Amino acid sequence: MAANEKRSREAWQELDKDHHLHPFTDHKSLHKKRSRIITRAEGVYIYDADGSKILDGMSGLWCVNAGYGRQELVDAATEQLKELPYYNNFFQCAHPPSIELASLLQEISPPQFKRVFFAGSGSESNDTIVRMVRTYWDLMGQPERHTIISRHNAYHGSTVAAASLGGMKPMHRQSGLPIPGIVHVDQPYWFGSDRSLSPEEFGLAAARAIEDKINEVGAGKVAAFIGEPIQGAGGVIVPPDSYWPEVQRICDKYGILLISDEVITGFGRLGEWFGADYFGTRPDFMTFAKGVTSGYLPLGGVFVSDRVADVLIEKGGEFFHGYTYSGHPVACAVAIANIRLIQRENLVERIKIDIGPYLQEKWRALGEHALVGDTRMVGLMGAFEIVRSKDPIERFDEKQGAGVAFRDLLIEDGVCMRAVGDTIICAPPFILSHSEADELIDKTIVTLDRLQKTLTA
Ligand code: PXG
pLDDT (tens, 9 = 90+) of the chain, 457 residues, equals 677 778 999 999 999 999 999 999 999 999 999 999 999 999 999 999 999 999 999 999 999 999 999 999 999 999 999 999 999 999 999 999 999 999 999 999 999 999 999 999 999 999 999 999 999 999 999 999 999 999 999 999 999 999 999 999 999 999 899 999 999 999 999 999 999 999 999 999 999 999 999 999 999 999 999 999 999 999 999 999 999 999 999 999 999 999 999 999 999 999 999 999 999 999 999 999 999 999 999 999 999 999 999 999 999 999 999 999 999 999 999 999 999 999 999 999 999 999 999 999 999 999 999 999 999 999 999 999 999 999 899 999 988 999 999 999 999 999 999 999 999 999 999 999 999 999 999 999 999 999 999 987 6
Nearest residue (by CA) to ligand 1, atom 1, is 156
- Residue 19 confidence (pLDDT): 97
- Residue 4 confidence (pLDDT): 73
Helix residue ranges per DSSP H, 176-305: 199-217, 243-254, 275-279
Separation of 191 CA from ligand 1 center, angstroms?
Answer: 23
Q: What distance in Å separates the CA atoms of residue 186 and residue 340, rounded to the nearest whole number?
A: 38
Separation of 198 CA from ligand 1 center, angstroms?
Answer: 30
159 CA: nearest ligand 1 atom: 12
Residues 46, 47, 48, 52, CA torsion sign: positive
Separation of 419 CA from ligand 1 center, angstroms?
Answer: 15
Task: Residue 353: count other Cβ atoms within 10 Å of its Cβ.
Answer: 11
* DSSP one-letter string for 346-380: THHHHHHHTHHHHHHHHHHHGGGSTTEEEEEEETT
Helix residue ranges per DSSP H, 159-255: 160-165, 169-175, 199-217, 243-254
- Residue 35 confidence (pLDDT): 96
Nearest residue (by CA) to ligand 1, atom 18, is 233
Judging by DSSP bridges, how do beta strands 182-185 and 147-151 pair with one another?
parallel
Radius of gyration of the chain (CA): 22
CA distances from 287 to 242, 303, 334, 430 (A): 23, 6, 18, 20
DSSP-derived secondary structure letter, 271: S
> Is the CB–ligand 1 distance for residue 122 below 6 Å?
yes
Best probe residue, ligand 1, of 25, 126, 153, 155 (max atoms within 8 Å of C-beta): 155
CA distances from 211 to 103, 153, 240, 438 (A): 36, 19, 17, 44
* All structural domains of the chain: 36-69+354-456 (3.90.1150.10), 72-344 (3.40.640.10)
> Is the CB–ligand 1 distance for residue 264 below 6 Å?
yes
- Residue 265 confidence (pLDDT): 98
Record the pTM. 0.98
Q: What distance in Å separates the CA atoms of residue 137 and residue 181, rounded to the nearest whole number?
A: 14
